[in-house]
Chain A
Amino acid sequence: MTAVGQTGGRRWRFSVRPTPRPARALKSLQLPAFWLLGLILLAGLARLGGILRADLAKYPVATTSAIILFAVYAIPFWLFIASMDFLEREPPLLMATAFAWGGAVATTAAIPGNQAVHDLLAKLISPAFAATWGPAIAGPTIEELLKALGVVMIVLVARKQINSVLDGMVYGALVGLGFQVVEDIVYAVNAVSVSGRGDGVGPVVATFFLRGFLAGLWSHTLFTALAGAGIAWFLVRTDKPVWWRAGGLAVGLGLAWLTHFIWNSPLFADGIGSGAAGVLLGMLGKGLPALVMVLALVWVARHREAHFYVAHLAALHDPAIATPGELQIMGHGHLRADARRYGKARCGRAGERAVRGLQTAQARLAVELSRVSHLDPADALLIYCRDEVLAQRQRLVALGHPEAIVSPCRPAVPRIVVLGALGAVLLVLLIWQAIRSMHAA
């Protein structure tokens, strides 16, 4: 290493607060909040276990099917959320904790809370008002609060792991995902109970389709990602005045509440216009703006974080560590994927693996560089990370593909845009077909 990696970019310099070197997971054991979190999680898991045990005793086939179906459903969501933060990955245990909070604590606490708010609305205003607006008021107010508390708890036990707005979104989304999955399981078993036709999987599949598929893209995962962004903004942007940070926090929490409120509200519940197209339009009108807003926020947060870390590698001015071409693609997930495909096209599976290895090693070195205040030539961890990058580079050189870049013959329209557009069209068609089938039934 020939230069000190102290840059951090320009406007995104304050967007990331790297985890300091001395931060260690075991230090969390000294924190009172860690033990409180453990107790709360145990209580939540016990309550959830009680609910699921009762369901299993009554409807064993339906409950087991619901658990399996929604557990599988959670996998792609989890993978997507985990991949959002490629450069500075979050500790798996902390990610699992966030998921468990959403699934076991927030859900079980929301049941009595939602019921109480709903009943209070019925008593203080009217049963008709509670039936119409109860879900829109009780749901966001109680559930968003409980899920946001999960992100706050993550902050209390591992403050140093919240380095950027993106980290807050990752933990928020995982809390929301846990909530979404467990809530869907409970709804599926309720549907079996309401149908009054014994232990069948029909209502489970219908619920999976309705809640997982039609409503799943703009549900709790998305709402709590917004709350997580607000909390992380407050923590990370210490360069801003407190009122500005508090404003960001309020905007994040407010948007989480608002998007949830709009989705639960009776407005356009029967769609905009008539028929299946009207229902589809109503659903997209309520859910799509929130989805687009969150994806845009993820895009901005990812790029700010990527620029921050890539700037540390760039400051080394060492093409053996990262060439200008590699630095250019490092902050973009689809370009990294294109580089791996190009490696595979030129050198087969070994080429793909070598490119992936180099990208991972470069990311680790970038993160480690950001964690030191000055470059010590004898820093064992930095030397290890640098040697890992050089070893991966050697693998590529040996394969005759020395640089992990995208193909020069790459199409003008990025593959991700084409796939994304096709996926969106397919999704809309499937939802439309599903709504038409339901109308016909």
Chain B
Amino acid sequence: MVAHRLLRNLAGGTAVLAALLVVVFGLPALNRAVPNDRSLTGQQRYEVGAGVSVQPPPSARIDASKTRPGADRAAVLFLLGAVRYAIVVTPFDGGIEDAAGRLRTKIKATQGYQVTGDEDGVRTASGIDGLAGGYTAPGRCGRYAVFLTGGVSIEVTVSGAEFELGQVISGIDASIDSIAYGGGR
């Protein structure tokens, strides 16, 4: 009788542990098994969120798990083969230098990433001003840009192996140039 009770208790405890393991390891494993990337329909402008839109580069797909549209802040990650092109929009009330400094800090926070060279002023086709620079990482190189408009900062990062990046960079540059806020095009 006592042994039966202890067995039932063990079964109950094991069931709780199993449920925990399903949540902690099972669901993330299932998530990893489902492909991240989704194709984009046609070549329409993509609404990133928080009022920002962009023309995606040709043949880009999006990483659904890293894409977060939203009213106040938003993010999208475009995938072009192994090249990653991310746009992050967040509320920001500082100056362009502060925004660029914040992005540089984020980049350098990743082990092995280093910002290289000086920053240059850039302007999108819709007239949003910003700063752009470059960075390196082990086996990869990257570009970044930050724009300020309408109380939000638009952070752009592009990274990939040098050869692959060279193949798609013109399309990405055109895409960055197409970034618009509000109804702008």
CB distance from B155 to the nearest CB of A (A): 11
Chain A 252-274, CB-CB to B under 8 Å as 1, else 0, gives: 00000000000000000000000
Q: Is the CB of A31 within 8 A of B34?
A: no
Number of interface residues of B (CB under 8 A): 33
Encoded as 1 (CB less than 8 Å from any B CB) or 0, chain A from 105 to 133 comes to: 10001101101110110111011101100
Query: Within the assembled complex, what's the spacing in Å between the Cα atoms of A429 and B48?
Result: 37
B135 → chain A closest CB, angstroms: 18
Residue in contact with A36 in the complex, picked from B16, B65, B69, CB distance below 8 Å? B16
Most buried by A among B12, B13, B27, B35: B13
Q: List 20 A-B contacts (CB under 8 A).
A: A32-B6, A32-B9, A40-B20, A113-B27, A115-B28, A115-B31, A116-B30, A119-B36, A123-B35, A127-B62, A127-B64, A127-B67, A127-B69, A127-B76, A142-B27, A145-B19, A152-B12, A153-B16, A156-B12, A196-B105
Question: CB within 8 A of A37: which of B13, B24, B36, B69?
Answer: B13
- Given A36-B16, A116-B28, A194-B90, A123–B6 Cβ distance below 8 Å? no
Q: Which residue of B lies closest to A112 (CB)?
A: B28
CB–CB A131/B68 < 8 A: yes
User: How many positions in chain A have a CB within 8 Å of any CB in the partner chain?
Assistant: 34
* B64 adjacent to A122 (CB under 8 Å): yes
A23 to B14, CA, bound (A): 23
- Closest chain A residue, CB of each to CB of B34: A123
Q: Digitize A2-38: 1 where CB-to-B-CB distance is under 8 Å, 0 elsewhere.
A: 0000000000000000000000000000111100110
Restricting to B84-104, which residues have a CB under 8 Å from any CB of A? Answer: 90, 102
A127-B68 contact, Cβ under 8 Å, with A112-B23, A112-B28, A145-B23: yes
Task: Give bound CA distance, A364 to B30, whole Å.
Answer: 52
Judge whether B14 and A36 touch: CB under 8 Å.
yes
Of A113, A119, A145, A153, chain B has the most CB atoms within 10 Å of the CB of A119
Query: Does any Cβ of B come within 8 Å of A329's Cβ?
Result: no
Query: How far is A152 from B38 in the complex, measured between Cα atoms in Å?
Result: 40
The proximity string for A residues 213-232 relative to B, scoring 1 for CB distances below 8 Å and 0 otherwise, is: 00000000000000000000
**Is A149 positioned at the interface, with any CB of B under 8 Å from its CB?**
yes
Q: A119-B64, A131-B70 are in contact. Are A109 and B28 (CB under 8 A)?
A: no
| A169 sits at the interface (CB 8 A) | no
Given contacts A116-B28, A122-B64, A123-B64, contact A146 B23 (CB under 8 A): yes
* Cα(A40)–Cα(B18), bound, Å: 11
CB-based contact B64/A126 at 8 Å: yes
Per-position binary interface string of chain B over residues 1-39, scored 1 when its CB falls under 8 Å from any chain A CB and 0 otherwise: 000001001101110110110011101101100111010
User: B13–A149 contact, CB under 8 A?
Assistant: no
CB distance from B152 to the nearest CB of A (A): 13
Query: CA of A149 to CA of B23 in the docked complex: distance in angstroms?
Result: 12
Contact A124 B34 (CB under 8 A): yes
Asked if B9 and A31 make an inter-chain contact with CB atoms under 8 angstroms apart, the answer reads yes
Pairs A-B, 3 closest by C-beta atoms: A33-B13, A116-B27, A32-B10
| Neighbour of B27 across the interface among A32, A112, A131, A194, CB < 8 A | A112
With CB as the reference atom, state the residue of chain A lying closest to B37.
A123
When each residue 321-359 of chain A gets 1 if its CB lies under 8 Å from chain B and 0 otherwise, what string results? Answer: 000000000000000000000000000000000000000
Tell me, rounded to whole Å, the shortest Cβ–Cβ distance linking A440 to chain B. Answer: 15
Task: Output the nearest chain A residue to B24 by Cβ-Cβ distance.
Answer: A109
- The distance in angstroms between the C-alpha atoms of A166 and B109, with both chains bound, is 49
